[in-house]
Amino acid sequence: MNPPRRKIPFGLADLLAAKQAGKLPIVAVVLCAFLFAVIIYSEDIKSLAELSFVRLKSNDLFSRDLSNPSPNSTNSSQVELSNEEEIEKRKKDVMFVDVPASCDLSQGAWVFDNVSNPLYRERECEFLTSQVTCQKNGRADDMYQKWRWQPKDCALPKFDARLFLERLRGKRFMFVGDSLNRNQWESMVCMLQSELSRRKKRITKEGNRVIFHAEEYRATLEFYWAPFLVESNSDDPEIHTILHRIIKPESITGHAVHWKGVDFLVFNTYIWWMNTAKMRVRRPTAKDWSEYDEIIRIEAYERVLRTWSNWIGENVDPMKTSVFFMSISPLHINPEAWGNHEGIKCAKETLPVLDYKDPLELWTDKRMFNLAANVTRSMSGVPVTFIDITKVSEYRKDAHTSVYTIRQGKLLTPEQKADPAKYADCIHWCLPGLPDTWNLFLYSRILSKP
């Protein structure tokens, strides 16, 4: 028995007959057949196209590393979004935080919070250096880890390491500056590293750069040593304990060549300027560092910021790179400023300054603060976000490494710890601690933008 003949759509049989009779070119037959198929199966084609579009859009917006999925994630083939509104809602929920640009994060108060803080544990972050591991170095109290900054007119979002890593996927994030920016870099590494598989995270060193690799996200979190931003006689990342510091205020290319193409640049420079009231500046025609002039510190700082801002304007693509400038991290070497007339620098301080209405006189050079703020805010070609951490940090006399740190690569001896007037470090900060809040400021500004 012959199989039943397949029914040919009306009109298509006539076309085939015409072709067999030699009355119609084969191209016309193929084209007409395609049009018939589109008409007959148009609804099925439309449904498949819409489903593919939704899945493509979903994967694009909410891409996850399939080798390390979120516990609540589903297979992409199961994701079906009903409409564009649902896509936009999920995009907003997943990819952004709601911190208005108009909110001044620097205005607020410290609130004790031992539930959400610390953001990580010292013993659980293998990447911390001995300079900042205060608990390991003998500090008995841990109250300094449990304070949360509450801005006056908005709220800081809860830190979501996976969300931030998604924003960094395939990108480079670099801190550039002195040891306080390294302090902040270590904090950021610890805030992120718990979301990464043990064998997918590592640190390497290349010249002035220390690089944390988040391999699952093809991202790097880097620190670049340049304490003055411009070239100086203190640029060796390992050997830079130099009594007479000298800068080349118009020379930045030697450092800046390593900043090109970076997706997020976070700069700072301050503490290395504070040894003397005048700055040594190498003469343009000098053959070595022995030939220099001395100029007022603020004048040298202005020249450096002008050099830096010119380089940013000429070499940074604002469509690719986001630029930030961290304000001054204050020192706490004058306990009378917070009413402790018997104190010795920041030693034995266990609480922040609370309910203090007058500004603290910590000998911070406010001229340098204002100059950096004005220069960054005037850069319209390449926008630079000025992050004010100074006011927030002034009240944290309790958060420094003090005598629970290292000196010239070695932990302080019991005898040195007993002499805080000489050995207490009231510049750098314990981790976990205050720099985590600085990074929350960065997190808020980065994730509140597309």
Which sequence positions are flagged as catalytic?
Answer: 179, 425, 428
Where b means 16+ CB within 10 Å and e means fewer, 195-209 reads: bbeeeebeeeeeebb
Do 172 and 219 touch, CB atoms closer than 8 A?
yes
Q: In what order do the strands lie in the sheet with 264-267?
A: 201-206, 209-214, 219-225, 172-177, 264-267, 322-326, 384-387
Do 385 and 445 touch, CB atoms closer than 8 A?
yes
Measured distance CA(81)–CA(51) in Å, rounded? 9
Measured distance CA(132)–CA(182) in Å, rounded? 11
Any residues with CB less than 8 A from the CB of 29 and at least 6 apart, and which? 15, 16, 19
Angle at 387 between CA 375 and CA 281, to 5 degrees: 45
Any residues with CB less than 8 A from the CB of 357 and at least 6 apart, and which? none
* Strand runs labelled E in 236-298: 246-248, 264-267, 278-282, 292-296
**Beta pairing class for 201-206 and 209-214:** antiparallel
Do 239 and 255 touch, CB atoms closer than 8 A?
no
